Amino acid sequence: MTTIAASVPTANGGRYVRQLCQHWSHKLDVACDGDIGTVRFPGAVATMAAGSDAIDLSITGEDREEVDRLKDVVAAHIDRFAFREAPLAYDWSWR
């Protein structure tokens, strides 16, 4: 398994996690409990947990290229919801 993770500074993380889960729930398997969300993409799983000052993101999958592609998809979608403060700072690291 390959995992990439980032902590993204924002005071509005809970709202963005909920919006993202709602957005993807129409096409993907999504679980959202408050400020914590999980999205199951074909081939990878994205988890998001918002705190008071950041969203902790991780994407795990078998294929490193797919995980790398999905990090851009997740970041672009969060930035779309965070348009007032976008672009947010994503400091991705492989685990």
Strands (E), 10-95: 29-33, 36-41, 44-50, 54-61, 93-94
pLDDT tens across the length of the chain (95 residues): 999 999 999 999 999 999 999 999 999 999 999 999 999 999 999 999 999 999 999 999 999 999 999 999 999 999 999 999 989 999 999 99
Beta bridge partners of 44: 41, 61
CATH number attached to the domain at 2-87: 3.30.310.50
Query: pTM above the 0.85 mark?
Result: yes
Choose among 52, 44, 42, 46: nearest CA to 15. Answer: 52
In the chain, where the domains are located: 2-87
